[in-house]
Structures are given as C-alpha cells and as structure tokens.
Structure 1
Amino acid sequence: MKSNMLSDSLRSFIIFGLVGIVNTGVDIGVFTLLTWWQLPWLAAQIIAYGCGVLNSFLMNRKWTFKQQGPLAKGLLRFVLLNLVTLGVTSVCMLLMHEHLGISLWMSKGAVTLLGVVLNFAGSRLWVFRAEQVHVNVRNHR
C-alpha cells in the first residue's frame, strides 16, 4: 500500500512539473503579447501571472489531482496558497541575496525550487485533497 501511495505521489509531482512548464509558457506568451501591444510592463506582468495561475489551477485540478466538484472553494484556496508561497519565497530571496550575499540568480533558483515544493505540498494536502467521508458506526447490543 505504501508503494502505491509513493508512486501516486511521484506521478502527481511529475504531472505537476509538466503543468508548471505549460504555465510558464502561458505567462511568458501573455506577457510578450501584452507588451507587444504596448501595455505597460507591470500591468502586463500582473495579467500574465494571473493567467498562469488560473491555467495552473485548471490543469492541476483536472489532470494532476483529478478533482471534481465546485470550483470556487478550490480556486480560493489555490490563490491563497500562491500568495503565501509568493510571500515565503520573497522573504527567502531577500534573506539569501540581501543578507547572505548569495547571487541574485542563485537565490532565484533556490526559491523557485522551494516554491515548487510548497505549491505541490499545499496543492496536494489542502487545495485538491480528496474529501474524506466520515462514517459514524455505533455498536448496538
């Protein structure tokens, strides 16, 4: 049974990574298009990042974690998870780069890996977790 859970987790993590690659493409594609249309880069970044997050939620919901049911609760949790991850990785990057003197790109690489792990764990354990059915069994004599 443990082996099956491990293989399910590995499968989910691999699909999660592939979805992340697609999300990066969505983000870069939307950003490129919007800046090509002369939208200011900050507005383009916000919109493009939002498109990547939405795409991530929809793809991970359907393929990575195979969840069904109402969208709103999961979407709210997913947005909150991404905001928490953004905060944690930003603080870590600040500490690594500004206070420890680690290069900007080494810091970015490290916090990107941290973000992937945090997002996967949060997605699996909180956002897309399977709802458990609780059965109350009483013994009658």
Structure 2
Amino acid sequence: MAQRKPKRGPLQFLQFGVIGFANAGIDIGTLNLLLILFHTDDRILLLLYNTIAYTLAVANSYYWNASITFKRSAQGSNRQRILFIAQGLISLGVSNLVFLGVNEWLDYIAVPNWMRYNIAKGLAMLLSFLASFFMVKYFVFKDYGKRFIK
C-alpha cells in the first residue's frame, strides 16, 4: 500500500531560515560596506546598493537551498534555474520597494541615516524572505515526481 511522503514544511522552513540568516549577513553586510565606502542619500544609488547586496545573497541562497533545503526536488535543470531567477527578481522587487518605502518614511520622521537604512533593510529582508520561501518551495523546487513511497 502506498503511503504519502511526510511533508517537510517545518523542517524546510527551519533550514531555509538558517540559510536565510547567513544570507541576511551577506545582504546587510554588503549594504553597510557599500554605504561605508561610498556613502550616499541618493535614491538611485541606494537602490543599486540594495540590488547588489540582495543579488549576492540570492546567489548564496540558490547554492545552499538547492544543496540542502530542497535537495530532494532540486534537479539543477534549466527550468529550475529560470524559475529561481524569476522568483529572485520578484523578491528583489519586494526588497527594493520595501527598502525605499520604509527608508522614505523613516526619513520623514527624522530617523538618523544609519539606523534608517538598517531598519528599512531589515524589514525588506523579512518580507522578501517570506515571499522567496513560498515561491521557491511551491514553484521552483516543487517535487513533481515521487509523490508516494513504496
């Protein structure tokens, strides 16, 4: 009699979270390094810095999540790579919108630059992390085969 494979949702979310924590270090660390080396208040440069930081974190995310979190369903196929890039672009859009929007709002209420950038980045990372997890789990590394154990 065939049995359904156990859902790995909580374990996957925990693994994705641990990898996400490392990615957060890359993301916020890169942003802060760029701000230290090339300080700016220009929205276009802030958008560029956030995009660079996010892109480095997403590249790291793909490697580790394909190797660990979604190993069972990661095939390394062109389809999965394209879907991963698409979800990365959507998550980047979420990250940039939240980063710029929260940054503007915090600027309006006179929060100092360094604190403002990091609060905005933190919220951007949280929301893009959640969007990314569900897109990666249900679209990129969706397990289309092997639905039952013998």
**The TM-score by the shorter chain falls in which range?**
0.5 to 0.7
Post-superposition, which runs of at least 4 consecutive aligned residues in structure 1 deviate over 3 A? Answer: 32-36, 83-90, 106-117
Q: Which residue of 2 aligns with 1:119?
A: 132
TM-score under structure 2 length normalisation: 0.58
Q: Which residue of 2 aligns with 1:78?
A: 87
**Relative contact order, higher structure (CA 8 A, sep 6+):** 2
Q: Which residue of 2 aligns with 1:19?
A: 19
Paired residues for 1:38-117 under 5 Å: 38-41=37-40, 42=45, 43-66=48-71, 67-70=74-77, 72-83=81-92, 85-86=94-95, 114-117=127-130
Which one has a bigger Cα radius of gyration? 1
Q: Structure 2 unaligned runs (5+)?
A: 106-115
Structure 1 residues 3 and 10: alpha-carbon distance in aligned structure 2, compared to 1, 3 A threshold: farther
Percent identity among equivalent residues?
Answer: 28
Superposed CA RMSD: 4.1
Residue 20 of structure 1, CA deviation: 1.0
Q: Which residue of 1 aligns with 2:110?
A: none
Q: Distance in 1 between matches of 2:54 and 2:64?
A: 15
Structure 1 residues 2 and 114: alpha-carbon distance in aligned structure 2, compared to 1, 3 A threshold: farther
Q: Structure 1 unaligned runs (5+)?
A: 98-103, 134-141
Q: Which moved more, 1:16-25 or 1:48-57?
A: 48-57
Q: Distance in 2 between matches of 1:39 and 1:9?
A: 41
Q: Distance in 2 between matches of 1:131 and 1:3?
A: 13
TM-score under structure 1 length normalisation: 0.61
Tell me, yes or no, if the aligned pair for 2:24 and 2:125 is still in contact at 8 Å.
Answer: no
